[in-house]
Amino acid sequence: MNVNEKFSGIRKGLLEFLVLQIIAAEKVYVADILKQLSTTQFATQEGTLYPLLSKMRREELLDYEWQESEAGPPRKYYKLTPKGREQLRDTLQYWMEINDTVKRLGQR
Amino acid sequence: MNKVITINLGGNAYQLEEGAYDLLRGYLETAAARLRNNPDQEEILSDIESAIAEKFRQRLSGQKTVVTARDAATALDEMGPVQADAETGGAAQPDGPGRTAEPAAEDPAKPKRLYRIYDGAMVSGVCNGIGAYLNIDPTLVRLAFVLLAVFWGMGLLTYLILVVLVPVARSPEEKAAASGLPPTAQEFIRRAKAGYYEAVKNFQTHRQGRAWGRWFRWHACAGANPWQSPWRGGWAPSATGCRPWVGFAVLALALLSGALTIAWLCALTSLLATGLVFGLALPAGLPTWAAAALLLLIYGTLAGSLKTARWLSWWCHDSSGRPPAGALLAETVVWLLVTLVLLLLAVHSFPELRAAVQAVPGVAHQATDAIQKWWQSR
């Protein structure tokens, strides 16, 4: 079992956090999110992302609006709600703590 | 050369090869099944359709206007399998094929269950369901029921009981359990096509013709003996004198029974659809089911006497005391032909009747659902 497989569960859990972070930076549509993730360890597909976004919207972490595009039909652009920003802040905080723990433990 | 199917994806028309269409339908049906418990199922599916449309658009140009099966396969591969639950779904492994474990719903040892299946059903899906359960052509099951109803009246009763007791397969999983097959999309497509084919083919095909023939020969052998013994002694000796009117009698009686069958069918349909029998309201306090049973009783009595009369005519015709096997067959065929011709004539000459016949499957579905609901609410 290589590292990639070992971390698949952790990646799954972190995907929501990363999506929050991407959307926090600017209003994006799904293809943007996929493109930003595609070069990372978190590359994913529409089949996974749409259900995740819909769940996050149900939890009121994000919202979307329709915007016309130059090519093709209008697209859904996602943005964070105040609750989403709060959640991102908390998660980021927690992630820093985990990071510190990883660095600190075992060092004398 | 491939057939092209035009579809609407996210508000735009796309032309797909048949193979591409099958793939897409399979993908969307699997996605719909996995998102069954998701409150946003509709919205996610429409998002996914739009995303697929965009991928198709990227593959088309001025010269290339049709999405091939290969295009569809790569586009759907890029989409990735739709995750049942965002909690369990996640990032695809960048260096792997990107397939996570299938959800537990696809248990290979899924038990078979008897369901009624509306896809491609003629009346209420009972025969369709039995056919799927036993893995035989539903047409054969229908034939069996029709024959049981015609010759012994048991088929109708059994059918009504099954309508009440057997649930309808509505979800893809239930439809899969109805035939004991895995709920894969390809299989649904195949079954849907088979069902469609089932609904549109008529009784004039060779295969069905042969099936009818087999059934009638079988019946002629099985049915002859019980009829022979009670009448043999009394009628055979005096039979020779009545030959001249036998031909007329048989024809007249067959016409009469045909008309009776049609009248009964019309009465039953109008009873179920409007609650009236030939414009007459039911006596106060008589429930619809009792009226239907009464109609069946009246029909059974009249049809029974007519049948006996027809048999007697044949007995008169043949003084040897043994009805020829061909006579039994001919008698039934005459009755069927008369019924069919009368039915066709009626449907042809009355547009309302034609509309009513076309509405029968829908009405039957509603009626059987109502019966089942009433039964379960008790």
Contact B90 A44 (CB under 8 A): yes
Q: What is the pLDDT of residues B238-293, one digit of tens each?
A: 444 455 566 677 677 777 877 887 788 778 777 777 777 776 777 766 777 777 77
Q: Closest partner residue to B51 among A4, A46, A51, by Cβ?
A: A46
Whether the pLDDT of residue B372 is over 60: the answer is yes
Lowest mean pLDDT among A40-54, B8-22, B26-40, B117-131: B117-131
Minimal Cβ distance to A54: which of B40, B78, B80? B40
Helix (H) or strand (E) holding B16: strand B12-17
Judge whether A78 and A63 are in contact, CB under 8 Å. Answer: yes
Are B91 and A15 in contact (CB < 8 Å)?
Answer: yes
Predicted local confidence at residue B134, as pLDDT: 80
Q: Read off the pLDDT of residues B113-144 as tens digits, 9 standing for 90 and up.
A: 788 887 777 777 888 888 888 878 888 888 88
CA separation for the pair B328, B315 (Å, rounded) = 11
DSSP code for B154: H
Interchain pair B43, A46: CB under 8 A: no
Cβ separation of A47 and B91 shorter than 8 Å? no
Question: What was the pLDDT predicted at A20?
Answer: 93
What is the distance, to the nearest Å, from the Cα of residue A11 to the centroid of all Cα atoms in its chain?
11
B31 touches chain A (CB under 8 A): yes
Going by pLDDT thresholds of 50, 70 and 90, the confidence category of residue B236 is: very low
Partners of B74 on chain A (C-beta within 8 Å) are: none
Q: Is B40 on the interface with A (CB under 8 A)?
A: yes
The pTM is what? Answer: 0.41
- Judge whether residue A78 has pLDDT over 90: yes
What is the band of B212 on the pLDDT scale with cuts at 50, 70, 90?
low
- Closest CA of chain A from B183, distance in Å: 19
* Chain B residue with minimum CA distance to A3: B93
The pLDDT of B32-45, averaged and rounded, is 87
CA nearest to B316, candidates B368, B245, B240: B240
Q: What is the pLDDT of residue A94?
A: 94
Q: Which of B44, B51, B93 sits opposite A54 (nearest CB)?
A: B44
| Interchain CB contacts (distance < 8 Å): A and B | 96
Q: How far apart are CA B293 and CA B100, in angstroms?
A: 56
pLDDT of residue B90: 39
What's the confidence (pLDDT) of residue B373?
82
pLDDT in tens, B301-359: 787 777 777 767 666 665 555 555 666 666 667 777 777 777 777 777 777 777 777 77
Residue B184 has pLDDT above 60, yes or no: no
ipTM value of the model?
Answer: 0.85
Using a CB-CB cut-off of 8 Å, the residues of chain A touching B80 are: 44-48
In chain A, residues with a C-beta closer than 8 Å to the C-beta of B88 are: 12
The partner residue sitting opposite A46, judged by closest CB among B48, B88, B95, is: B48
pLDDT cut 70: percent of chain B above it? 63
* Cβ-defined contact of B78 to A46 (cutoff 8 Å): yes
Please indicate whether residue B353 or residue A99 has the higher confidence score (pLDDT).
A99
The reply to whether residue B38 touches residue A11, judged by beta carbons under 8 angstroms, is: no
Contact at CB, B92 and A57, closer than 8 angstroms: no
Please name which of B132, B163, B202, B158 lies closest in space to residue B365, comparing C-alpha atoms.
Answer: B163
With an 8 Å Cβ cutoff, is A12 touching chain B? yes
- Relative to beta strand B276-277, strand B66-67 is unpaired
H or E element: which one contains A62?
A: strand A62-67
List pLDDT tens digits, range B172-182: 667 767 766 55
